């Protein structure tokens, strides 16, 4: 029996058609920090488990369209030091310059958990003066996957040097939020990517978008829109200003001795369901898991280069100890937390 009158059907159809015909700029993403529905995360939030420990910056020009332009004797960004991109957000930043690149590493691994997995902090001094950066991740430092950023800012005219952006038109770009508020990123957004382990992210790379709308110098989002942000900014502080990268879902390095004779990845840790164990160095390992009172839970011998997966779903929450015997002998136990 058809309980929906034809008039209601026609109204619903016309409503859906109208929405489909709206210009892209009508699409709304989360608003600035402090507003209802925002995804901004304050720097002191307890969700952050650790922060980037290493940062390497390849500076960009202060004007990549005309590289003869200089500021205080240099044609490249020069504000801050590489180390200013590490540790907690403190508004001591490193400026990347036009299309400059920062590559960050961590004291362990970022893994794909529920919701956002890490957040990037810039130093925007307001909710609308925003400088954007592409965000990419890697599990080997070589092969990077870019988050599908979307910029619905009108493609012209050029956003001027001190122009403004609307955060509700920006998604999956670093720099969406003001100083001390991180822009979150969820690894699930790139779950269909190949050549990367989403449970063992070792590197985050941030690249200034450039921001120019001039033909030949344009940058594009994942949908083919020109990314328009404040440009030119011909100062030593130009481009994306990196403050910090905070990790929400963090797996500590288990073992990593200076001689590289044994290297073990145990992730995610804490774990809820599947525990992954891997070593790219030794040929095989015997894995033994004990509970907190020393009773053996399971053991397994496996080729180490391929991850070994253990289903811990049925185990009670608590602390466990992972012992590994490699072809070079017994190695120290690793504490595993089952949530």
Domain holding 327: CATH number?
2.60.40.3080
Res 53: pLDDT = 87
Q: Find the angle CA(146)-CA(147)-CA(153) to the nearest 5 degrees.
A: 115
Of 211-225, 227-241, 246-260, where does mean pLDDT reach its minimum? 246-260
| Residue 13 included in any domain | no
SS (HEC) of 218-266: CCECCCCCECCCCCCCCCCCCCCEEEEEEECCEEECCEECCCCCCEEEE
Task: Check whether 305 has a pLDDT greater than 70.
Answer: no
pLDDT band at 167 (very low <50, low <70, confident <90, very high): very high
Domain membership flag for residue 18: no
Q: Is the dihedral of CA 217, 221, 224, 228 positive or negative?
A: negative
Tokens read off for 223: 């949908």
| Token reading at 171 | 């998604």
If asked whether residues 238 and 327 sit together in one domain, one would say no
Residue 212 structure tokens: 């120019």
**Which region among 9-13, 150-154, 171-175, 180-184 has the lowest average model confidence (pLDDT)?**
9-13
Distance CA 137, CA 74 (A): 30
Determine the Cα–Cα distance for residues 162 and 177; give it in Å rounded to an integer.
16
pLDDT at residue 2 tops 50: no
Domain that holds residue 187: 23-252
For the chain, give the percent of residues with pLDDT over 90: 59
pLDDT at position 287: 80
Task: Tell me what the mean pLDDT of segment 254-276 comes to.
Answer: 64
Domain count, the chain: 2
Q: What pLDDT score was predicted for residue 293?
A: 77
User: Structure pTM?
Assistant: 0.73
260: left (phi over 0), alpha (psi -120 to 50) or beta: left
**Residue 161 scores a pLDDT above 80:** yes
Which pLDDT score is estimated for 263?
Answer: 55
- Of 227, 252, 277, at which residue does a domain stop? 252
Please name which of 129, 108, 127 lies closest in space to residue 117, comparing C-alpha atoms: 108
DSSP code per residue over 79-101? -S-GGGGSSS--S--EE--BT-E
Lowest mean pLDDT among 108-122, 148-162, 249-263, 289-303: 249-263
Please give the torsion angle defined by the CA atoms of residues 160, 244, 166 and 207, in that order, rounded to the nearest 10 degrees: 60
Instruction: Please give the C-alpha separations between residue 146 and each of 177, 200, 212, 317, in angstroms, as whole numbers.
Output: 19, 16, 20, 35
Does residue 54 share a domain with residue 109? yes
42 and 171 inside one domain? yes
Residue that terminates a domain, selected from 226, 252, 278: 252
- Tens of pLDDT, residue by residue over 187-205, are 999 999 998 888 888 899 9
Coil, helix or strand at residue 129: coil
Tell whether the torsion through CA atoms of 38, 42, 48 and 50 is positive or negative. positive
Residues 285 and 302 in one domain: yes
pLDDT of residue 220: 98
């Amino acid at each position: 029996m058809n309980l929906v009158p034809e008039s209601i059907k026609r109204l619903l159809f016309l409503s859906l058609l109208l929405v489909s015909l709206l210009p892209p700029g009508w699409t709304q993403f989360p608003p600035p920090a402090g507003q209802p529905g925002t995804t901004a995360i304050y720097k002191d939030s307890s969700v952050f488990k650790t922060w980037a420990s290493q940062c390497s910056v390849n500076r960009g020009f202060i004007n990549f369209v005309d590289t003869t332009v200089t500021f205080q004797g240099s044609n490249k960004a020069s504000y801050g030091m590489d180390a200013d991109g590490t540790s907690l957000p403190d508004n001591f930043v490193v400026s990347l310059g036009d299309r400059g690149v920062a590559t960050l590493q961590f004291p362990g691994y970022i893994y794909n958990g529920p919701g956002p997995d890490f957040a990037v902090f810039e130093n925007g001094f307001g909710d609308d003066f925003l400088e954007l950066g592409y965000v990419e991740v890697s599990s080997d430092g070589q092969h990077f996957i870019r988050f599908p950023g979307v910029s619905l800012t009108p493609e012209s005219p050029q956003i001027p040097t001190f122009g403004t952006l609307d955060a509700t038109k920006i998604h999956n770009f670093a720099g969406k939020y003001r100083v001390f508020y991180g822009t979150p990123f969820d690894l699930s957004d790139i779950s269909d990517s190949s050549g990367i382990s989403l449970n063992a992210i070792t590197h985050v790379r941030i690249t200034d978008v450039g921001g120019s709308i001039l033909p030949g110098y344009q940058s594009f989002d994942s949908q083919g829109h020109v990314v328009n942000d404040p440009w030119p900014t011909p100062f030593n502080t130009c481009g994306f200003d990196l403050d910090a990268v905070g990790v929400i879902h963090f797996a500590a390095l288990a073992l990593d001795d200076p001689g590289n004779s044994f290297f073990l990845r145990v992730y995610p840790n804490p774990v809820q369901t599947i525990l992954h164990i891997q070593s790219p160095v030794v040929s095989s390992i015997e894995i033994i898991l004990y509970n907190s009172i020393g009773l053996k839970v399971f053991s397994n011998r496996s080729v180490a280069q391929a991850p070994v997966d253990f289903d811990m779903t049925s185990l009670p929450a608590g602390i466990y100890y992972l012992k590994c015997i490699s072809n070079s002998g017994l190695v120290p136990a690793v504490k595993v937390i089952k949530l």
